[in-house]
Amino acid sequence: MQLNKHANGLLSIYFTAGYPTLDSTVSIAKALEEAGADFLEIGFPYSDPVADGPTIQHSSEEALKNGMTLSVLFEQLQDLRKHVSIPVFLMGYVNPVIRFGVENFCKACKEVGVNGTIIPDLPMYEYEELYQHIFEENGISNIFLVTPQTSEERIRKIDKLSSSFIYLLSSNATTGKNLEVKDQAEAYFKRIKDMDLDNPFIIGFGISNQETFRKATTYANGAIVGTAFVKLLDEADYLAKIPQFIQNLR
Amino acid sequence: MSKYQVDNRGYYGPFGGAYIPEMLFPNVEQLEQQYLEIMNDPSFRAEFDQLLKDYVGRPSPLYHAKRLSERYGATIFLKREDLNHTGAHKINNTIGQILLAERLGKKRIIAETGAGQHGVATATVCALKGLECVVYMGEVDIERQAPNVARMKMMGATVVPATSGSKTLKDATNEALRDWINNPLDTHYIIGSVVGPHPYPDMVARFQSIISAETKIQLLEKTGKETPDIAMACVGGGSNAAGMFYNFVDDDVRLIAVEAAGHGVDSGETAATTVLGKEGVLHGSRSILMQTEDGQVVEPYSISAGLDYPGIGPQHAWLFKSGRGEYVSATDDEAMQAGLRLTQLEGIIPAIESSHALAHLEKMTFKGDEVVVVCLSGRGDKDLDNYMKYFNL
């Protein structure tokens, strides 16, 4: 599912399936669409999330305790498309996907109407060698990450392999570190923008408020908020607070 | 090239690879492109060999354990890695990696540790080279292994508690990987076993291969033949076994790896990965992994902190799956008894890890003329508390 290359100011929200309660997944997705989010990333939990900081680690641990698994998630998402029309991506680590079976996983994504996947520890080489054909046969876009250290040659390759958007990390870091909008970061965003890639790019990691959202979307087609939103889910009556949260970011 | 060694894509059969997030790609790629060149450089070799000799105390003896041999009816040699500086085979790898880190221009070293042996071996080489050292260790292990924490601190290392998950080795490894993601430019991660993304399993195995390289020379001297009939070692992640097997995989030698069965493979408290594990990805490589139906990693258990890991290195997964290696297990009780037995028969107190390898001798039958080499990977000083409790000493 290709995002529009000329879109701007897109806001995507990440949250962990099964957190804060096992059944909260679809109601949160629905509330986010109603509040004006442009697309969603639903995390499926893993016991060893090495790319995540403490907040998302905690949400994954709790979700697992609540009983979340990939099978439960796909069951919960059976009626996803009755309630949610914006693009939805699943994000998580590769081991649960391998255990579930990559083909079963892609088929299940297609069946419930998930548009794509973000699997940080499935690198490009392994994806191309082992799994690309399965994703493509099922029309599932796999999203790749780019960091400030990724070479231009590699970014070009990622651009060719991508069919939805490129996930640009604001810095080399785990999730939940605040983006420091320094000249260095801006130079990096600008460098990517000037590469005139075929795919739109969305900035994630460290986007937590209006200032960082605006700075990121000056260069990118959109930005992703994860940790800051997962923190909101700890509050009482969080569903009612979602519209204000989204409004404050814009 | 042996089909049991890593191929040019970083795989051992279907196992291995580099399943890492993009944030780690530049670091791992740099290592992958340079490790062989650096390791083959004459100045590296010279410094590595000299430190192993004068600082570690190599070659480690190959000891003919006569009373043990008598008990089992075979000719049993012990490869005495327990006599190395810092008390285990771990230092072979940390010496190699610190020299590599220097040549890569890295200023800061991170490591994970379970019982603390690899942490101590890393803190030691950092003190030797004057490099900053940060060791991640599970909060639970920090409490259990106070003397090793003190040793690391004395050597100037910072010991950071891993407070996520079960707060043990697996979680310490996660924290070290997170540190590396956040410090991509100046930091080298010294992984302590033959696990992690390619090229770590191969690199660590090469540094540990000194164990079997020396064994060949010593066996030739003692028996007139450079190969044994059987080579044995314990396996957690599998670094001492990888070193013991490295130069024998293409020879006519039985390779026996002994995993920790904990309270028994069916007890729910075990680290017998090849019995209970399924194919999966953890800490950057595809291997065999103890996990739930949903692909969540299961917490292992063993009385020996060094074998308390839910996976095995990808080369071991391949030796197991291809049938080249024999993977067996020993329980806590069997290992403890074997440790006491060696102490009383030979006057050597082994690490509880190594005791697992010794325990399997009890289950074997010999014709009488076999030559067996057991890797005695570490000494038991660190385990005295455990031995005292277990035997009410």
Binned at pLDDT 50, 70 and 90, residue A95 comes out as: very high
Q: Tell me which CATH code domain A10-249 carries.
A: 3.20.20.70
Inter-chain touch B282–A48, beta carbons under 8 Å:
yes
Residue-level pLDDT at B165? 78
Contact A70 B295 (CB under 8 A): yes
Closest-approach residue (CA) in chain A for B175: A50
- In the predicted model, what is the mean pLDDT of residues A3-10? 87
Distance of CA A154 to the CA centre of its chain: 21
* B106 within 8 A of B190, measured Cβ to Cβ: no
Task: Give the torsion through C-alpha atoms of A211, A216, A219, A223, to 10 deg.
Answer: -130
Chain B partners of A227 at a C-beta cutoff of 8 Å? Answer: none
Query: pLDDT class for A195, splitting at 50, 70, 90?
Result: very high
State the helix-helix crossing angle for B314-321 and B200-208, rounded to 10 degrees. 80
Put residue A12 in one of left, alpha, beta given phi > 0 → left and psi -120 to 50 → alpha.
beta
Instruction: Tokens for B129, please give them.
Output: 């080279």
Does pLDDT of A7 surpass 90?
A: no
Instruction: Name the band, by pLDDT with cuts 50, 70 and 90, for residue B230.
Output: very high
Distance CA B77, CA B64 (A): 4
Q: Does B43 qualify as catalytic in the annotation?
A: no
Catalytic residue among B112, B175, B214, B353: B112
Which of A48, A120, A147 has the CB atom closest to B170's CB atom? A48
Instruction: Specify the pLDDT at position A248.
Output: 95
Cα angle at B22 between B118 and A233, to 5 degrees? Answer: 90
- Give yes or no for a contact between B26 and B104, defined as CB atoms under 8 angstroms apart: no
A41 has catalytic annotation: yes
pLDDT mean over A140-153: 95
Tell me which chain B residue has its CA closest to the CA of residue A168: B22
Q: What is the distance in angstroms between the Cα of B296 and the nearest Cα belonging to chain A?
A: 5
CA distance B367 to B11: 37
**A181 pLDDT exceeds 70?**
no
- Probe site for chain B from A52, A161, A172 (most B CB atoms < 10 A): A172
Interface ipTM: 0.93
As a residue count, chain B comes to 393
A46 pLDDT higher than 80? yes
Q: Which helix (H) or strand (E) holds B371?
A: strand B371-376
Helix (H) or strand (E) holding A142: strand A141-143
Contact across the interface for B22 and A48, Cβ inside 8 Å? no
Q: Which region holds residue A113: left if phi is over 0, alpha if psi is between -120 and 50, else beta?
A: left
Work out the angle at residue B119's Cα, subtended by the Cα atoms of residues B135 and B26, and round it to the nearest 5 degrees.
55
Q: How far is A161 from chain B (nearest CA, A)?
A: 15
Give a three-class secondary structure readout of B324-337.
CEEEEEEEHHHHHH
Judge contact between A114 and A90, C-beta under 8 A.
Answer: yes
pLDDT digits 0-9 by tens, B26-76: 999 999 999 999 999 999 999 999 999 999 999 999 999 999 999 999 999
Helix (H, G, I), strand (E, B) or coil at A166: strand
Give A35→chain B minimum CA distance, Å.
Answer: 31
The residue assigned the tokens 């870091």 is A173
**Rounded CA gap, B302 and B359, in Å?**
14
The partner residues of B146 in beta bridges, in order of sequence, read none
- More confidently predicted of A184 and B61: B61
The pLDDT assigned to A50 comes to 93
- pLDDT band, residue A3 (cuts 50/70/90): confident
pLDDT of residue B96: 98
Is residue B159 over pLDDT 90? yes
**What's chain B's Rg over C-alpha atoms?**
19
Of A213, A230, A212, give the one whose Cα is nearest residue A222. Answer: A213
Q: What is the pTM of this model?
A: 0.96
pLDDT at B207 over 70: yes
Q: Is the pLDDT of residue A182 over 70?
A: no
DSSP secondary structure string, B62-131? EEE-HHHHHHHTSEEEEEEGGGSGGGBTHHHHHHHHHHHHHHTT--EEEEEESSSHHHHHHHHHHHHHT-
Average pLDDT on B297-317 reads 93
Distance from CA of B278 to the nearest CA of A (A): 9
C-alpha–C-alpha distance, residues A115 and A110, integer Å: 7
For residue A197, what are its two tokens? 């890639």
Q: What letter would DSSP give residue B277?
A: -
What is the model's pLDDT at position B153? 98
Calpha distance A147→B245 (Å, rounded): 39
* Nearest Cβ partner for A121 among B21, B289, B293: B21
Q: pLDDT tens across A51-73, in order?
A: 999 999 999 999 999 999 999 99
Q: Is the dihedral of CA A65, A67, A68, A71 positive or negative?
A: positive
Q: How long is chain A?
A: 250
Within 8 A by CB and 6+ apart from B170, the residues are A48, B282, B283, B297, B299, B309, B310
Q: How confident is the model at residue B213 (pLDDT cuts 50, 70, 90)?
A: very high
Domains (ranges, CATH) in chain B? 21-51+90-203 (3.40.50.1100), 57-88+209-391 (3.40.50.1100)
CA neighbours closer than 13 Å in the CB half-sphere of residue B87: 21
Rounded Cα gap, residues B272 and B331, in angstroms: 9
